[in-house]
Structure formats: C-alpha cells, structure tokens
Amino acid sequence: MARDADIGTADGRQLRYQEAGDPAGYPIFLLHGTPGSRLGPRPRVSVLSRLGVRLISYDRPGYGGSDRHAGRIVADCAADVAGLADHLGLDEFAVVGRSGGGPHALACAALLPARVTRAAVLVSFAPDNADLDWFSGMNEANTRDFTDEHTLVQSLIERAHRTHQSPATLLDSLRDHISGPDLRLVGDETFERLLLESYAEATRPGPWGWIDDALALRRPWGFDLTSIHRRVLLWHGAEDNVVPASHTRWLARRIRTAELRVQTGSAHFGAMEILPSVLSWLAQEDPPSLAAN
C-alpha cells in the first residue's frame, strides 16, 4: 500500500509525501510533472515491489498538501528533498524527474552530490537561457502560455480553476494539441485515471503550485549543470510537441555524464510507459546502458 504523511521544513512550511513499493527497497525520489502531485502517475505498488524499489514522491510547494513557497526557484527543491531524506533516514538515494520535474531532479544531482547516486530525467525542459530555439517544435498552446509571465499566470489561474472543477477538462484541452503517440496513451483507461487523479490533487489548493513551477522553469534555475558528476539518463520521445526533444539534446551536451536516449514512436506521455524500466535502471548497483536494451 501507498502511505501519505507530512513533514515540516526548516522555514516552517509543510510538505506532504507518499511512499510506495518495497519498504526495504532501493530509495528513489519521483519528482512529478507540471502540473502534478505526489500521486504520480507511478507504477502500481506490486510493480514497485517486484522491482525492489521504495518510491518516494512529494507535492512540490503549492500543490496538493504542500504549502506554497512563493518566489521559489528550481534549485530550492534540493533542500526539500534533503530534508525529506533526513526525515526518512536516507543517506543516499536516486532521483527521477518527469517533464517539469526534470530540472528539479537535475538540481538534486547538482546540489546533493554526496547523496544522489544517479538520476533519470524524462521529457525535460531546457533552461530559458539555453542557446536553442526554445519554442521550435512546441505546440501552439504551450508556446502561447510561455511567451510572457502575465499571459502565463492568467492562463494558469483559469486552467487550474477549470481543472479543479473537472480534471477531465485538462485532458480534453491537451487532446487538441498533443501528437499521435500521446493521444494513444491518454486514451488508455488506466493512464487516463492516473492522470486525472494527479491533476485533481495538484489543483485542489488552487493554482499557485502550477504557476510557481512554470515561473521557476523560465527563470534561472540556480545551479550549474556542468557540476553534475553522477550518471544521468536523459530520455525523450522523438514526437513530443509539449516539450520538444531538442531541449533534452541540449541538456545532454552540457552534462558530461549523461546518457541520451531519444525514442522514436513516442512522445511526452511516453515517460509514463518507460518509467518502470527507468526505475529498474536506477535501482541497480551498477546499471548498464539503458539505450542498449
């Protein structure tokens, strides 16, 4: 069974987290997407147990049961993860981040080098100041929202309100913009249910987790990618038009320990399908190249 609990942070906030899988398994932090919550989506408890994984996820500030941290930057998540690991008695752990959680996983790898054993980053954004065409290949909805902060905030206030009232409206709006492989996945009843549960919990306290996430992604992240020395798996679906694969290719050129895998026939939500294999890779003492499998 999955178990929810709360902890207090050093600056007086509350974080809500969830543990699932094998209590004696390899500890891995799952950093959810944008929007998202501690609920995942993630593999079933039985799958996690079979993989020998103790999966720990938490609501980033402003989402679900976690208090807002106004003005936060991506790097701030490392202190929250470290505090949660201290609370759980974990000296070392792996991290995996999906979509908006990808930069947060990289922050942990960069800022907690003595504790993060390895990291996986799925369908991640690149920084706003990356020397690439940030919007090339991105769908019209994301391009419009990310053009300026005022547009972004107003759009997310409205979308979060609609999503809170009916989480299905977010999936319905996504269907108008995502590519074929993603349409197939969000049409699957199991994946759809997992996404709706996570979206509902993410927007339950209001829009600010989503807004603060999006603003943090477009502002300086607060750490140096070139300082990462642990193994990092970078995965992206080649047909992703939510966050184009060019973002992950850019990251791969900056992280000397990165292993890049761009998968044809997959897109943004393919990160949900690949997650069990990624967790297995993270939990191995000396993981082989996933790209060779």
- Mean pLDDT in the chain? 95
Structure tokens at 290: 């996933």
Whether the Cβ atoms of residue 134 and residue 248 lie closer than 8 Å to each other: no
Structure tokens at 29: 């932090």
Whether the Cβ atoms of residue 30 and residue 96 lie closer than 8 Å to each other: yes
Whether the Cβ atoms of residue 109 and residue 251 lie closer than 8 Å to each other: no
Q: What is the pLDDT of residues 151-197, one digit of tens each?
A: 889 989 999 999 999 999 998 989 999 999 999 999 999 999 999 99
Cα(148)–Cα(45) distance, rounded to whole angstroms?
Answer: 40
Q: What is the pLDDT of residues 82-102, one digit of tens each?
A: 999 999 999 999 999 999 999
Alpha carbon 160 to chain centroid distance? 18
**What is the per-residue pLDDT for 196?**
95
The amino acid that residue 53 corresponds to is V
- Residue 219, Cβ density class (10 Å: 0-12 exposed, 13-18 middle, ≥19 buried): middle
**What is the per-residue pLDDT for 249?**
98
**What is the per-residue pLDDT for 290?**
64
The amino acid that residue 201 corresponds to is E
- Structural domains in the chain, sorted by start: 3-292 (3.40.50.1820)
Q: What is the pLDDT of residues 223-280, one digit of tens each?
A: 999 999 999 999 999 999 999 999 999 999 999 999 999 999 999 999 999 999 999 9
**What is the per-residue pLDDT for 58?**
98
